[in-house]
A and B are shown apart, each in its own frame.
Chain A
Amino acid sequence: AQSVSQHNHHVILSEAASLELGCNYSYGGTVNLFWYVQYPGQHLQLLLKYFSGDPLVKGIKGFEAEFIKSKFSFNLRKPSVQWSDTAEYFCAVTPRGSTLGRLYFGRGTQLTVWP
């Protein structure tokens, strides 16, 4: 079965600190990759996505992620976090090149940023 692993369950940072959230997946074929964010009490919103091309993708609010195919990883980064980045972050993976509609989410990483 496919799976998505997010290594950090809860990350606590001070404002201006750098952030890196890990994501690894187990699917062997070509995949589409996503990071979603869920602010307190809200629904999920797309931060960024990777389909092909440059493995370093930039998203909204200063977030970026790097796809490393050899490591089956898609880590999320931000050089300087803000208090408003406090939220839960989900990595998601879906197989490509088929009619499969399966989308696999990691368990999420809760980020708390102290002002």
Chain B
Amino acid sequence: EAQVTQNPRYLITVTGKKLTVTCSQNMNHEYMSWYRQDPGLGLRQIYYSMNVEVTDKGDVPEGYKVSRKEKRNFPLILESPSPNQTSLYFCASSLSPGQGVTGELFFGEGSRLTVL
């Protein structure tokens, strides 16, 4: 089954404790991206990756890191989480044949993160 898998789905942590949210897709998609969803603000892009070893900043990259060492995985790293990073996070992937995001985005189920 084609899917984007995120882990963990729910996490409560404390300020400053490093955490990683994993994202894996089994569709051989080049493009992957992370979004955070906050009430009244919609989805905001954190980072995206056009292919392996190619990553770039979205609208709200501060406080986050990503890596793309393999095509299927795109982990989101919070080196020192703060309460303003409490949010619902979505990973997504898409085909990307060099024309921007032309394909449908496939979203993961979301990871709800609370930073105390």
- Residues of A at under 8 Å CB distance from B? 6, 9, 32, 34, 36, 42-46, 49, 51, 90, 92, 94-108
Chain A hits for B70, CB < 8 A: none
Measured between C-beta atoms, what is the minimum distance from A78 to chain B in Å? 20
Given the known A-B contacts A46-B104, A94-B101, A97-B100, are A103 and B50 also in contact in the complex, defined by CB atoms under 8 Å?
no
Q: Are B45 and A102 in contact (CB under 8 A)?
A: yes
In the assembled complex, B105 has its CB within 8 A of some CB on chain A: yes
Give which listed residue, B45, B90, B96, contacts A43 with CB less than 8 A: B90
| A/B interface sample: 27 pairs, CB < 8 A | A32-B102, A43-B107, A43-B109, A43-B110, A44-B107, A45-B107, A46-B104, A90-B42, A90-B43, A92-B105, A94-B101, A94-B102, A95-B100, A96-B100, A96-B102, A98-B99, A99-B50, A100-B100, A101-B33, A102-B45, A103-B105, A105-B35, A105-B44, A107-B40, A107-B41, A107-B42, A108-B43
